[in-house]
Chains A and B, each alone.
Chain A
Amino acid sequence: GAGVSQTPSNKVTEKGKYVELRCDPISGHTALYWYRQSLGQGPEFLIYFQGTGAADDSGLPNDRFFAVRPEGSVSTLKIQRTERGDSAVYLCASSLTGTSSGNTIYFGEGSWLTVV
């Protein structure tokens, strides 16, 4: 597709369940990022992939959160034993290369997760 695609757009799950959120970046983009945005806040960094490897996972809040990108394109964010505090919009973004300048980052529309 032309942009970053995220599925599902909305997910309601019960506390304690496992969820997977999928991101399909722009074709050819080697850098992929996951952010989490709570109501009334700006996005907060979770993890950065360069190719297949997680180059920076310092933003993952705890070991219930895990992300993979096995073939260097699609990424999946996995959340185990969900808690109500995990409710947020999970945004995926990609860029051509993971450099700090001269590099436009494109965001998807997000996956809205609600844990009840």
Chain B
Amino acid sequence: TQLLEQSPQFLSIQEGENLTVYCNSSSVFSSLQWYRQEPGEGPVLLVTVVTGGEVKKLKRLTFQFGDARKDSSLHITAAQPGDTGLYLCAGVGSWGKLQFGAGTQVVVTP
């Protein structure tokens, strides 16, 4: 059972377009992480957000953590084919134990 809900499940866009994916939970997490996973590989950490209302930028990626620390979003500006992948959000619990959402599959076509 995934306690974190991600939407949409699938997103297909053209190169150069913007996109936003969402991560919502009924639970409060001390911190939340976003990962990207490509086929045949494990998830790779993109960012950790800790403070309610926090905004972090990683090149063309912008991450927001909700004020109540229960929701988060990832916005990609001017998407490129290299952004294609499964984007996963994960709430961080005790001992670094992660509770993942089901993921959003993003496909960026040239």
Contact = CB atoms under 8 A, between A and B. Distances in A.
Interface of A: 4, 31, 33, 35, 40-45, 48, 50, 55-56, 91, 93, 95, 98-110
Interface stretch (B11-19, B43-51, B60-68): B43-51
Please tell me the size bucket of the interface on B. Answer: 20 to 34
B78 interface: no
Contacts, number: 75
Given A104-B45, A107-B44, A45 B97 contact: yes
Nearest to B35: A107
B97 A56 contact: yes
B42 A42 contact: no
B97 A42 contact: no
Contacts of A43: 43, 88, 98, 100
Contact of B96 (A40, A42, A44, A95): A95
Given A50-B95, A104-B45, A107-B43, 13 more contacts: A31-B95, A35-B98, A41-B2, A42-B88, A42-B101, A43-B88, A43-B100, A44-B100, A45-B97, A98-B96, A100-B31, A100-B96, A101-B30
B92 interface: yes
B26 interface: no
Contact of B45 (A33, A35, A50, A105): A105
